[in-house]
Amino acid sequence: METEMQANVAAFEQTLRSTIALAGTFAAGDWTRPTDCPGWSVQDVVSHMVGTELMLLGEDPAGGHVLAEEPAHVRNDLGRLIEPGVDARRGRSGPEVLAELREVLDRRLEALAATDPERPTTAPTGATVPYKEFMVFRAFDCYIHEQDIRRAVGRPGNLDAPAAACARRIMEPGLPVIVGRRSGAAPKQTVLFEVSGAVPFAARIQVGEDGRARPVEAGTPDVTLRMDWEAFMVLVAGRRTPADVAVDVTGDTALGGRVLANMTLTP
C-alpha cells in the first residue's frame, strides 16, 4: 500500500485496537451502559463496529436477522440499514461480540492489504473517492465510536489518536455549511473557532457577498467560539448539545448561539 493508504489504515487499526483493549477490561455492567447514540448500549456500539466491517467484507452483518419492529431511535435509512446487525447481537454477551470484533478486524486488515488505494468507492457523503480516502472516513467513524464508549464507561483516553487527525479532516470542512447555510450569518460576518486540547486548531469562517461561507486567513471575528477538542467533536458528531459542553462565546452571542445550535454534521 502507498504511504497515504498505510497511514489511514494504521489510524483505523489503532483506534479499533484501543477499543478492543478497553473493552477487554469491562465488567458485566459496563456492556449495558447507555451511550450518546440514542437507543444504543456500549455493547450495541461494538456490535455496530462489527457489523460495518462485515458489510465492507461483503457479508450480511445481520446474518439474515430481521427486526421484529422498527425501534423509535431509528430515524432514517442509514439507521434502518445498520440496526438489524446491532439487534442480531443483543442476545449475545459482550465478550462474545468483542471476540467477533477481534476476528473481523484481522480479516479486514488482510483484505485492506490487498486493496488498490486508488480503487474508487462511495464515501458516506455519497461522493466517489479513492479507497485511500474512504479509509479516512473509516478511521473517523471508529474513533468517534471509541469515544462514545469511553464516555459511557467513564474511561477517557486516546483522544489524540492518529484517527483524531482523520476526524478533524472530515469535520472541519463542514464549518462553512454550519456558519453560512444553517446559522443565518450575514455577508461579511466572520466566526472564529478556536479549538484547544488533543487536536488544537483555529478556523476563521466568513460569509461572502454571495452568501456563501468560506475559510479566510484574516479578519476581525464577529464572534469567537472557544472549546476543547472533545467538546468540538461531540457537537459536530451530534452526541451532545451546547448546554452539555463548555464553550466560551465572545462577541455576537446571538450569532454564536445559532452556530452552536447547528453544529451537528453527522447523520
What pLDDT band is residue 109 in, cutting at 50, 70 and 90? very high
| 256: in domain | yes
| 267: in domain | no
pLDDT digits (tens, 9 = 90+) for 53-65: 999 999 999 999 9
pTM: 0.96
Task: Tell me: do 98 and 126 sit in the same domain.
Answer: yes
> Over 90: is that where the pLDDT of 96 sits?
yes
| 166: in domain | no
Task: Tell me: do 179 and 118 sit in the same domain.
Answer: no
Task: Tell me: do 34 and 103 sit in the same domain.
Answer: yes
The percent of residues in the chain predicted with pLDDT above 70, rounded, is: 99
| 266: in domain | no
CATH code for the domain of 34: 1.20.120.450
Task: Tell me: do 117 and 182 sit in the same domain.
Answer: no
> Over 70: is that where the pLDDT of 2 sits?
no
Task: Tell me: do 35 and 143 sit in the same domain.
Answer: yes
| 238: in domain | yes
Task: Tell me: do 145 and 185 sit in the same domain.
Answer: no
| 231: in domain | yes
Q: What is the mean pLDDT of residues 34-57?
A: 98
Task: Tell me: do 136 and 38 sit in the same domain.
Answer: yes
Domain boundary among 137, 158, 179: 158
Task: Tell me: do 145 and 213 sit in the same domain.
Answer: no
Task: Tell me: do 71 and 132 sit in the same domain.
Answer: yes
| 163: in domain | no
pLDDT digits (tens, 9 = 90+) for 215-261: 999 989 999 999 999 999 999 999 999 999 999 999 999 999 999 99
> Over 90: is that where the pLDDT of 75 sits?
no
Q: What is the mean pLDDT of residues 153-158?
A: 98
pLDDT of residue 267: 78
The per-residue DSSP string of the chain comes to --HHHHHHHHHHHHHHHHHHHHHTT--GGGGG-B-SSTT-BHHHHHHHHHHHHHHHTTS-TTTT---SS--TT--SHHHHHHHHHHHTTTTS-HHHHHHHHHHHHHHHHHHHHTS-TT-EEE-TTS-EEEHHHHHHHHHHHHHHHHHHHHHHHT----TTSHHHHHHHHHHGGGHHIIIIIIS-PPTT-EEEEEEESSS-EEEEEEE-TTS-EEE-S----SEEEEEEHHHHHHHHTTSS-GGGS--EEEE-HHHHHHHHHT-----
> Over 70: is that where the pLDDT of 157 sits?
yes
CATH code for the domain of 206: 3.30.1050.10
> Over 70: is that where the pLDDT of 154 sits?
yes
Task: Tell me: do 119 and 192 sit in the same domain.
Answer: no
Task: Tell me: do 152 and 193 sit in the same domain.
Answer: no
> Which residues form the domain of 88?
3-158
Q: Could you give the number of structural domains in the chain?
A: 2
| 23: in domain | yes
> Over 60: is that where the pLDDT of 1 sits?
no
Per-chain mean pLDDT for the chain: 96
Task: Tell me: do 138 and 257 sit in the same domain.
Answer: no
Domain boundary among 158, 193, 216: 158
> Over 60: is that where the pLDDT of 99 sits?
yes
Domain boundary among 100, 127, 158: 158
